[in-house]
Amino acid sequence: MTRALINVPAKAKRGEVIEIKTLISHPMEPGYRADNTGVLMPRDIITDFICKYNDEEIFRAELFPAIAANPFFLFSTIATESGTITFEWTGDNGFSAAESVTITVE
Amino acid sequence: MSDKDHMNDEEQLPNAPRRRFLIHAVAGGIGLAAIAATGPARATPATMRAAMKNVVGEASLRKGKVTLDLPPLIENGNTVPLTVSVDSPMTAADHVKAIHVFNEKNPQPNVVSIRLGPRAGKASVATRIRLADSQKIIAVAEMSDGSFWSDEVEVVVTLAACLEGSVP
């Protein structure tokens, strides 16, 4: 089971710039390494990460094999209104994961 | 997989990759970058420029506004913290549309492409990357007015991300 860690403040003042940290467990096998028998291991990476704030896209990343295992992203957004921030990861071999957090804006 | 495991893998492989590993090690030791770059499927400064051209197109790429922050000496190339900050007010009229990171010597020239906008509030992002060798890293920011700005950093990697012997 994929585990994702999300760090978003639960409360923020309206207009405040908040930091969002995300980390998801994934090997990010780059496709250039051999296993113990010398056979090349096929690529298996997360290719896309999207963050939406109340269904509006605020951050998107296209990942390449040069992203380290367990992809981590730190970015920011303006706390505009209370609601839900969603996170979606998709990748090779049909990989798909999603998380969401709620935020209260005062 | 840890780098220690990787070294064990190396010993079980046929001779050719081991030889390549030795050549690489020696070349790295005496600084013959040209030989070190002859491994399989490596990006080169030329392929990096081609990848950058895909992003920048015919626009001019100017230095400045972007700050690429990486440790100058990297002990473990498997996970390298990277921060890109861009000097921008991040308003609807003047903001950063995208940040792209490129490298010279990993198997592929692209590292990550990020899209953001005025909702970000500030133009600063961080992630963790892999580096296969000591090399130059370039960050390119695409602004809402269509201009492109960049920053580059030379890094020394003492323990490369697992790549050697990748093709038996």
- Residue B59 belongs to a domain: yes
Given a contact cutoff of 8 angstroms between Cβ atoms, the answer to whether B77 and B163 are in contact is no
Residue of A nearest to B162 (CA): A33
pLDDT digits (tens, 9 = 90+) for B46-56: 888 888 988 88
pLDDT value at position A36? Answer: 85
- Residue B165 belongs to a domain: no
- Residue B66 belongs to a domain: yes
- Residue B68 belongs to a domain: yes
Chain B residues interacting with chain A (CB cutoff of 8 angstroms): 1, 6, 9, 12-14, 40-41, 78-80, 83, 103, 106-108, 110-117, 119-122, 124-131, 161-163, 165-168
- Residue B105 belongs to a domain: yes
- Residue B21 belongs to a domain: no
The nearest CA of chain A is from the CA of B102 a distance in Å of 10
Calculate the alpha carbon distances from B95 to A23, A74, B115, B121 in Å.
26, 18, 11, 9
| Total domains in the fold of chain B | 1
**Contact between A67 and B162 using a beta-carbon 8 Å cutoff:** no
**Contact between B120 and A76 using a beta-carbon 8 Å cutoff:** yes
**Contact between A58 and B117 using a beta-carbon 8 Å cutoff:** yes
Amino acid identity at B5: D
The nearest CA of chain B is from the CA of A10 a distance in Å of 18
In this prediction, residues A53-79 reach a mean pLDDT of 95
Give the confidence band of B58 by pLDDT, cuts at 50, 70, 90.
Answer: confident
Residue of A nearest to B99 (CA): A61
- Residue B7 belongs to a domain: no
pLDDT digits (tens, 9 = 90+) for A24-41: 999 999 988 888 888 889
Which residues of chain A are within 8 Å of residue B14 when distances are taken between CB atoms? Answer: 38
Residue B39: pLDDT above 60? no
Give the span between the Cα atoms of A87 and A7, in whole angstroms: 11
Residue B102: pLDDT above 70? yes
Residue B116: pLDDT above 50? yes
Structural domain including B88 reads 42-157
| Residue of B9 and A61 predicted with greater confidence | A61
- CATH number for the domain spanning B57: value is 2.60.40.2470
Give the confidence band of A9 by pLDDT, cuts at 50, 70, 90.
Answer: very high
Residue B78 tokens read as 């498997």
Which residues of chain B are within 8 Å of residue A33 when distances are taken between CB atoms? Answer: 1, 6, 162-163, 166
pLDDT value at position B163? Answer: 57
Residue B2: pLDDT above 70? no
pLDDT value at position B168? Answer: 35
Which residues of chain B are within 8 Å of residue A60 when distances are taken between CB atoms? Answer: 114-116
Pick the CATH number of A4-29+45-105 from 3.40.50.300, 3.30.70.330, 2.60.40.10, 3.30.565.60: 2.60.40.10
Residue B81 tokens read as 């913290």
**Contact between A66 and B127 using a beta-carbon 8 Å cutoff:** no
pLDDT value at position B16? Answer: 52
In this prediction, residues B13-20 reach a mean pLDDT of 52
Residue of A nearest to B117 (CA): A58
The enclosing H or E element of B9 equals helix B3-12
Nearest to A75 among B12, B125, B165 (CB): B125
Write the ipTM.
Answer: 0.92
Nearest to B124 among A58, A65, A76 (CB): A76
Residue B121: pLDDT above 50? yes
Residue B10: pLDDT above 50? no
- Residue B123 belongs to a domain: yes
In order, the DSSP letters of B87-154 are -----SSS-EEEEEEEESSSSSSEEEEEE--GGGSS-EEEEEE--SSSEEEEEEEEETTS-EEEEEEE
